[in-house]
Amino acid sequence: PQKILLYCDPGIDDSLAIIYALLNPELELVGIVTSYGNVDQEQATQNVAYLLELGGKKDIVLIGGAKTPLSGEFTPYYPEIHGEEGLGPINPPDTIKGELLNFDAIFKLIEEYGEELIIVDVGRSTSLAISFNLAGAETMNAIKGFYLMGGAFLTPGNVTAGAEANFYGDPIAAGIVMEKVKNGVLYPLNVTKEAIITPEMIDDIISEENNPYQSLIKEIFDYYFEAYQKLIPGIEGSPLHDVMTLFAVTTPQAFKYVEKEVNVGLDEGNLRGVSIADFRPRPDEKGNKVTIALEVNAEEFAKNFVKVMSSPI
């Protein structure tokens, strides 16, 4: 299986991504970096610890990530989408806190797994930018590759007219990652919003009791779907941005890609966090390029999601 170090901020789609990784025999989670984002960092940690405990997977190491963006400012959380504590209607028991390793555990994992390690970042880019700043680009880029959820190219954002939440949350950090990452693939809203998971698919998943997550999957999905219906009237299901980014690790052929330099808007107001790439026939590009997924086989994703989420642990 592919060895994954996951940076996340659970969050409903992050939580489903963790469950997806735990149930997928093609993926092996070797560590989870918990950061602020959809909720604060302590809550994110508690949520991950709760998910691991439910699945009897407490041996996976947790690493304490960023508590604020690089600017140190406060950024809003989104209880209306992810719930007060990030798991929709569920409040994980206070007895579960999660034991965190210090940040440099990231570098130990990079050393231990080397070229076999894949970093998947489905949260604000802060902790990954700090990793690049502390370890240096050469050390970071010696791993197998990076799968990053963020950005929206020539398509509406989800927090402002033009910006996607992960890039908006810490545009400085997103810019650092875009400038330094080699072997990085970006999964922006262009692809993640195309694949809708419906309540019927969730019913399929929970129709047989195969794993300890099934009732949780339904409860957090229902909450998320209700929120999406308010945002996008008539929508028939919910996109699961973070799950798709992990799906891409095992199924890269389900996407179509371009290679571009990506810049991130740093101004306040409606340019904050906006991702810009040059789509003109003769682009003017001088900087680092990343691969951007721009099309996805949505059906393949949905099928794979139902199969993996119905699997035993």
Q: Which residues bind Ca ion (CB under 5 A)?
A: 9, 11, 14, 122-123, 242
**Nearer Cβ to Ca ion, position 177 or 206?**
177
Mention every residue, 6+ apart, whose C-beta is less than 8 A from residue 269: none
Least Å distance between CB 149 and Ca ion?
7
Q: Under the rule (CB under 6 A), what is the footprint of ligand BDR? A: 11, 13-14, 38, 122, 149, 158, 164-166, 241-242
Kindly tell me which of 116 and 161 has the beta carbon lying closer to ligand BDR. Answer: 161
Q: How far is the CB of 230 from Ca ion (least distance, A)?
A: 19
Pairing outcome for strands 238-239 and 196-197: antiparallel
Residue 115 beta carbon to ligand BDR: minimum distance, rounded to whole angstroms? 27
Contact 196, 229 (CB under 8 A): no
* Strand-pair category, 196-197 with 27-34: unpaired
**Minimum gap (Å) between residue 197 Cβ and Ca ion:** 15
The span from the CA of 68 to the CA of 71, in Å, is: 8
Give the one entry of Ca ion, ligand BDR, none that residue 124 binds, where binding means its C-beta sits below a cut-off of 5 to 8 angstroms depending on kind: none
Residue nearest to ligand BDR (CB): 165
Phi, psi dihedral angles at 254 (to 5 degrees): -80, 0
Q: Which of 35, 274, 246 is nearest to 131 (CA)?
A: 35
Query: Which residue, 110 or 174, has its beta carbon nearer to ligand BDR?
Result: 174
In degrees, rounded to 5, the angle at the alpha carbon of residue 34 between the alpha carbons of residues 215 and 101 is 115
Q: Which is nearer to Ca ion, 169 or 237 (CB)?
A: 169
